[in-house]
Amino acid sequence: MNFFEIFNFEPDFNLDVNSLSARYKDLQRAFHPDQYASANESQKLLALQKATEINDAYATLKSTVSRAEYLLKLVGLDISHETTTVKDPSFLMQQMEYREKLEDISALSDPYDAIIEFEQELEQEQAELEATIGRELKSAHYEQAANAVRKLKFIKKLQVELERLEDEVSDI
């Protein structure tokens, strides 16, 4: 059973996350090891394996990056551990600009507004890439989809760094 089949979904990038979460909870209601606390050892082990698989499937499908990577893997394109990077020069140029921007923000005395503005910019970028991934996957342009996923990973990384920056400058 692949991860989509576990939740009785068609393999599709555009997935209703709320419905995923509801189905996930129903499955855990049936398979969580707590339901087998007084069962025998082999049933316990089986429940543990099932619950683990369900958790893995849920975590994979919940995030757009891992969901896209998983869909690509289903069609035979495994990019989750690859070392290939993006070669698109304009994208790379933009990444460099983003990096500089991050440094500039960290040097500001009151960086909050700049952080929020940058956050929104990245969010928009993320939404556009996700739309591209959905489109390319639908039309079976897997290489193009993989490229968009690689770009999305860049953006996610920046978002993490921006969060870290926000942590550093904020005080309780």
Q: Which is nearer to another protein, 6 or 68 (CB)?
A: 6
Q: Cβ distance 165 to 116 under 8 Å?
A: no
Q: x/- string (CB under 8 A) for another protein, residues 135-164?
A: ----------------------------x-
Asked whether position 51 contacts another protein by CB under 8 A, the answer is yes
User: Residue 13 carries which DSSP code?
Assistant: S
| Rounded distance between C-alpha atoms, residue 89 and residue 91, angstroms | 5
| Rounded distance between C-alpha atoms, residue 59 and residue 55, angstroms | 6
The identity of residue 105, as a single letter, is: I
Asked whether position 33 contacts another protein by CB under 8 A, the answer is yes
Helix (H, G, I), strand (E, B) or coil at 45: helix
Sites for another protein among residues 110-139 (CB under 8 A) = none
Query: Which range of residues in 4-12, 89-97, 123-131, 150-158 is near another protein by CB under 8 A?
Result: 4-12
Asked whether position 37 contacts another protein by CB under 8 A, the answer is yes
| Rounded distance between C-alpha atoms, residue 74 and residue 61, angstroms | 13
List contacts with another protein (CB under 8 A): 1, 6-8, 19, 22-23, 25-35, 37-43, 46-48, 50-52, 55-56, 58-59, 163, 167, 170, 172
